[in-house]
Structure 1
Amino acid sequence: MLKPKATSESRTLMTQLIFPQDTNHYDTMFGGKLMEYMDKVAAIAAMRHARGRVVTASTDSLDFLAPIRIGEVIEVEAFVTWTSRSSMEIYVSVISENLYSGERQTTVTAFFTFVALDDSGKPTQVAPVEPETEKEKALFLSAPERYALRKQRKQERAASTKKSD
């Protein structure tokens, strides 16, 4: 078994100013653009943990809590919360900030799953996670339930796909 890695070893933070080309006709950020940023930051966190190649396997619980407006700054933060043999759950949160008022709020949260790959593109083992903060510990403890739900959802989709073939 590999030596556990502290959550802080995978923590990744990206700060971005939101410009008009990042927004829709309501002057709020495109959800797809934000999802792109989230996937990139999650990928970096996963690569830091695995120290190798990774691919996105799933995204779930992507919750848009508040709009992000032109001129605001976002901080996209990601870290590995839990691992299975070759998969890693990454928690991603987005905080927006109005630079004039200083008001900050969580605008989006999600869980991404990445799989570590070896040089031939096959899943490879990753180290377990060692949570440090109370939030990280809570996410770590609740992760096996989310993992089981993901597996169940995947099996149900595979079964329904076979029925429609």
Structure 2
Amino acid sequence: MKKLMSESYAVKTANVLPPDSNSHGTLFGGRLLQYVDDIAAISARRHCRESVVTASIDSMDFLKPINIGEIVILEAMVTYTGRSSMEVMVKISKEDLTRESGKTLAAFSFLTFVAIGEDNQTIEVPKIEADNDRLQWLKDTGEERAKRRLERKEQSQSLSSFFSSDLLE
């Protein structure tokens, strides 16, 4: 079974308030990561209609600061699928509603989610089909990102045995 990428599309919008910000008056990176993980999980669940867990966050590339008083807009979509895994891209924009400047790209991130059944075992997810040429590019380049993700996971497993004791030992 295949599903269109657009079927997993999800949007989250939030005001950036002082409790969400650091001493520079910009959105905490950790708060943005919380928003990213939440909207990406919703997108993954929309795709597979099952429970999901976050397997990895490939990257979080901050391009522009998001300031107090602006709104943050997160758009998420499944861009690649494996057997039980789903890559979700999250595009993060900001908008200053006091100006007519429109939306500005502020960050983007790729995450991987795994679908799990009631027995907490992985389950197969539907394959994806691109809605248009632009989305086809994301799907086509997903395999390369998946290979890099696997290499990084292997490196992390090596590091985990190396650092299984206290860091300073």
Q: Which residue of 2 aligns with 1:76?
A: 74
Q: Which runs of 5+ in 2 are unaligned?
A: 165-169
Residue identity over aligned pairs, in percent, reads 39
Q: Which runs of 5+ in 1 are unaligned?
A: none
1:91 is the counterpart of 2:65: no
Trace 1:1-165 onto structure 2 (pairs within 5 A).
3-103=1-101, 104-163=103-162
- Look up the SS of the partner of 1:101 in the other structure: coil
* TM-score when normalising by structure 2: 0.92
**Which one-letter code corresponds to 2:9 in the other structure?**
R
**Which one-letter code corresponds to 1:125 in the other structure?**
E
**Which one-letter code corresponds to 1:17 in the other structure?**
N
Q: Which residue of 1 aligns with 2:167?
A: none
**Which one-letter code corresponds to 1:75 in the other structure?**
I
Deviations along 1:19-50, one digit per CA (max 9) or x if unpaired, are: 11111111100010011001000000000111
- The change in CA–CA distance for 1:160 and 1:16 in structure 2 (over 3 A counts) is closer
Structure 2 Cα separation of the partners of residues 152 and 22 of structure 1: 34
Give the length in aligned residue pairs.
163
Mean CA deviation greater in 107-116 or 125-134: 125-134
What is the CA-CA distance between 1:164 and the residue it aligns to? Answer: 5.0
